[in-house]
Amino acid sequence: MKGFCERAVASDFSSKTLTDTSNRSPTSLTSDPGISDSKFPKASLWSSFFASAFSVFETHSEPSGSENKASHSDSPAYEVHAKQNGWTAAVKKAVAIGSMRRLQERVLGSTRTGISSSTSDIWLLGVCYRISQESSGDADTSNGVPAFERDFSSRILMTYRKGFDAIEDSKYTSDVNWGCMLRSSQMLAAQALLFHRLGRSWRKPLQKPLDREYIEILHYFGDSEASPFSIHNLLQAGKAYDLAAGSWMGPYAMCRTWETLARFQRVVTDLEDQPLPMAIYIVSGDEDGERGGAPVLCIEDASRHCCEFSRGQADWTPILLLVPLVLGLEEVNPRYIPLLRATFMFPQSLGILGGKPGASTYIVGVQDEKAFFLDPHDTQPVVNISRDDVEADTSSYHCNIIRHISLDSIDPSLAIGFYCRDKDDFDDFCLRASKLADESNGAPLFTVAQKHNLSKPVSHSESSVSTDGLQHDDSFGVVAMSDAEGHAHEDEWQLL
């Protein structure tokens, strides 16, 4: 069953990737005038049709660096590939040009770019940008679109890469078509490191030399086993959750994988040299909380994680909070949309691992009903940056194209991230989270408690449990999982 779900999702995504990557522009901020705002009620049906059709050809392609974007179809390398893989290359080329490409975009839809004419405030990872011309006395807000654009383009982007060393014993030298959740999670972790080491106000320098701390952060995410947070090491750490090269994974498994990798790095590295110098806490409550109830952030647990990270040397340390959620079946329950939007107003916000069904992105901001995101579905050559190379070319780690989707169209399986620098920052987060839960009309994203309560948590069941009593995750599949301590629950089902 697991294999069937993975193949179905991979089929849906392979067709989307061809559409997305054919419209990339890596150089400037843009608003695409050719994108229509009209809705297509039959898009889901046609999307399935095209996904199935294109997946037949994707199945026979090589899972390696030879996979090129459709927009590269005129290059000599691509022509060689076309001779070796006639049907695959022919279909890709047809999708990339002419009426076939336009038809696919019309049916599957295109990502919208740029900033709309709305004068509503934009919230980007805890910072408010006033778009209206009316002055505000709030000293904590920043004015104008240019400031937002610079902040957005300073966020670290992780995308598909091709040409890295093969992952363990596999033949995979690229993560094209399957690594978007891994890349999205790398982006969130990279922002946490930026906030920790350089502060929220940091912006990418316009001239070199670059900040040494910034370069070291990029080095940590290189595509080799030598980089602590590489895709290679994430897959190794995620084996307990069935992560493997070429396979799909959901937000819950991804969060637990980061917890496992951080624990491993803590063991093999001196405390003062930790690549992730913070505790990590997966806010998922008890077993019921991981199966449909609202997760519970337990303050005592957070304190324990900090103590364990510091090896008993401190009562509190910086802490990364990850909250995996399933907020519906095929779509997010509308009652949660205002709550998701409100989390971007928290100063501790690290955004959301989420996106369209079968295609993970990193959502970093909101304006009205729009969600701004960084998209990992662009394929770039591998780049491994030395930790002291302050003259390095880091352009492939940033994006000037502002993309957005509707908040109500994101996948209901997602994870929210927060970074708290110290105990005061954590206390402020808990106050904000408790207030948000109180205003949720009985359906909070998560709750805050001083200690564990044996009573059953508030349920998300009306969103994530069907009439037959089984919980489902429409987009990432239902997978038998093991918990982080290695105790198998092979006879139970875990929502990703």
Distances (CA, A) of 459 to 288, 444, 465: 9, 9, 10
Tokens read off for 335: 């009652």
pTM score of the predicted model: 0.71
**What pLDDT, on a 0 to 100 scale, did the predictor assign at position 417?**
98
- Rounded CA-CA distance 193/443 in Å is 32
**What pLDDT, on a 0 to 100 scale, did the predictor assign at position 169?**
86
* CB-CB contact of 479 with 330 (8 Å): no
Note the pLDDT tens digit of each residue in 356-386. 878 999 999 999 999 999 999 999 999 989 9
Note the pLDDT tens digit of each residue in 403-452. 999 999 999 999 999 999 999 999 999 999 999 999 999 999 999 999 87
Mean pLDDT by 10-residue block, N- to C-terminus, for the chain (496 residues)? 40 41 39 37 43 40 39 43 46 39 36 74 96 57 82 98 93 95 97 97 94 96 95 95 90 95 89 91 64 82 95 94 94 95 98 89 96 96 93 96 94 96 98 96 94 55 36 33 34 30
User: In terms of C-beta density within 10 A (0-12 exposed, 13-18 middle, 19 or more buried), how is residue 297 classed?
Assistant: buried
* CB-CB contact of 205 with 391 (8 Å): no
Tokens read off for 206: 């316009």
- Rounded CA-CA distance 143/137 in Å is 11
Tokens read off for 148: 């937002």
User: Per DSSP, which regions of 146-238 are E strands?
Assistant: 160-162
- Rounded CA-CA distance 399/108 in Å is 24
67 alpha-carbon distance from chain centroid = 22
Rg (C-alpha) for the chain, rounded Å, is 22
Q: So which residues are the catalytic ones?
A: 180, 375, 377
**What pLDDT, on a 0 to 100 scale, did the predictor assign at position 96?**
39
**What pLDDT, on a 0 to 100 scale, did the predictor assign at position 142?**
55
**What pLDDT, on a 0 to 100 scale, did the predictor assign at position 248?**
84
- Rounded CA-CA distance 332/414 in Å is 10
**What pLDDT, on a 0 to 100 scale, did the predictor assign at position 143?**
62
Bond from prior residue into 41 cis (ω within 30 degrees of 0): no
- Rounded CA-CA distance 357/332 in Å is 11
* CB-CB contact of 97 with 105 (8 Å): no
Tokens read off for 451: 């200690």
* CB-CB contact of 326 with 292 (8 Å): yes
* CB-CB contact of 262 with 276 (8 Å): yes
**What pLDDT, on a 0 to 100 scale, did the predictor assign at position 63?**
41
**What pLDDT, on a 0 to 100 scale, did the predictor assign at position 453?**
65
**What pLDDT, on a 0 to 100 scale, did the predictor assign at position 496?**
32
* CB-CB contact of 29 with 401 (8 Å): yes
